[in-house]
Amino acid sequence: MPDKPKLSVYWASSCGGCEIAVVNLHEKILEVDRNFDFFFCPCLLDTKYRDIEALDDGAIAITLFNGAIRTSENEEMALLLRRKSQLLIAYGSCSAGGAIPALSNLSTRAGHMRTNYLEGPSLDNPGGILPQTATLVPEGELELPAFFETVKTLPQVVEVDYYIPGCPPESKQIWSVVEAVIQGTPLPPRGSVLGGGCSTVCQECAKVKSDKKIAAFHRTYEIVPDPRQCLLEQGLICLGIATRDGCGALCPAVNMPCTGCYGPPEGVADQGAKMLAALGSDLDLGGYKGLTEEQVARQADAILAGIPDLAGTLYRYSLAGSILRRRSQ
Ligand code: SF4
Ligand code: SF4
Ligand code: SF4
């Protein structure tokens, strides 16, 4: 049998959930093995950096790259895998939008160092030692990757061919890409989002929608929502209105609000801003008659204060890729 095309799955700054989604292919993983040389996956295989470097450029057929770019090592691997891969796919929300790792853009590098190495109540660091990129020990010099000030998305570092959205993506999306390559089916134009639609989660959500007038927000444990009615209308912060469709409205279908993992809808540059704009017209301010602009703003602020961590909620999956990108310094 001729050499099988090479498949790689890499994690940069990530949680490992995207790798679990690959394993969730269940028996189809055997089909993957039959058709691909599963060459590189630090979570499962002991392939070394030098093994990747030794490959010809373009020698890897598909790389599923999950995770955001937090460190110099993440960036180096992104550049290397771009060079070695025919198809580089931003796989999962962290890679496409920064997601959870990029929420650290709401703080600073110095702030992280202080919290994690100097102020934690369980720390024992009387010398106040912080991680260094180079440390001399009797055996030689130890190196650590540089920790960037700002978390980036994969497409902010290298060109990507496709996006597979989700946190993590669903196994059926991974399979459809793998199957298309196996069968030689033409893929959509470069830059497309595979497995995502061009509308919003609200469009595929079966809940009854009426006029939204939200007087107060609730945490999911505080109320038992009416399963037939739109969750946002009941005061649960559901980001379906500002999130790309394609998942089949999985979360609202089981009465959990959409947290936005498919990222912004087609043509929307900033998912958080889109959601905030939608909320602006959905809050119940009790009528404007007789109220000054300042009083209206105070009332809106009071309702929005019911959302814990507003920035983290609206930008949970998209901060690094948004217009906002990070907190100003
Ligand atoms: S997209 Fe979600 S599952 Fe995948 S690495 Fe990021 S946080 Fe984990
Ligand atoms: S806001 Fe949420 S619950 Fe309401 S229609 Fe949209 S996806 Fe469904
Ligand atoms: S409903 Fe929202 S959070 Fe849930 S899977 Fe779909 S896009 Fe992701």
User: How does pLDDT run across 139-168, given as a tens digit for each residue?
Assistant: 999 999 999 999 999 999 999 999 999 999
Arithmetic mean of pLDDT, 249-266: 97
Mean pLDDT of the chain: 94
Residue 100: nearest ligand to its CA? 1
**Mutate which of 100, 203, 241, 243 for ligand 3 pocket (most atoms within 8 A of beta carbon):** 243
Indicate the SS3 state at residue 111: helix
Is pLDDT above 80 for 212?
no
Cα-to-centroid distance, 103 and ligand 2 (Å)? 24
- DSSP assignment letter at 25: T
Arithmetic mean of pLDDT, 187-196: 92
Cβ(66) to ligand 1 under 6 A?
yes
Tens-digit pLDDT profile for residues 27-37: 999 999 999 99
Cβ(231) to ligand 2 under 6 A?
yes
Atom of ligand 3 lying closest to residue 244 CA? 7
Q: How far apart are CA 110 and CA 117, in angstroms?
A: 10
Q: Which of 20-34, 62-76, 190-204, 224-238 has the lowest mean pLDDT?
A: 20-34
Cα-to-centroid distance, 100 and ligand 1 (Å)? 8
Q: How many helices (H) and strands (E) does the chain have?
A: 13, 9
Atom of ligand 1 lying closest to residue 100 CA? 7
Exposure letters 245-268 (e unless 16+ CB within 10 A, then b): bbbebbbbeeeebbbbbbbbbeeb
Going along the chain, which residue ranges are E strands? 6-11, 37-40, 60-66, 69-71, 85-91, 134-137, 140-143, 147-152, 162-164
Indicate the SS3 state at residue 275: helix
Tens-digit pLDDT profile for residues 269-286: 999 999 999 998 888 887
Tens-digit pLDDT profile for residues 173-182: 888 888 888 8
Q: Give the domains, in start order, of the chain with CATH numbers.
A: 6-100+149-183 (3.40.50.700), 201-314 (no CATH)
Residue 265: nearest ligand to its CA? 3
Q: Residue 2: what pLDDT? A: 65
Tens-digit pLDDT profile for residues 121-144: 999 999 999 999 999 999 999 999
Q: How far is CA 186 from CA 28, 91, 180, 181, 189, in A?
A: 21, 19, 7, 8, 9
Q: Residue 40 burial by CB count (10 A; 0-12/13-18/19+): exposed, middle or buried?
A: buried
Atom of ligand 2 lying closest to residue 233 CA? 4
Is pLDDT above 90 for 229?
yes
Residue 234: nearest ligand to its CA? 2
What the block records as the tokens of 119 is 């102020």
Cβ(153) to ligand 1 under 6 A?
no
Residues 37, 63 contacting (CB under 8 angstroms): no
Is pLDDT above 80 for 289?
no
Q: Band the pLDDT of 256: cuts 50, 70, 90.
A: very high
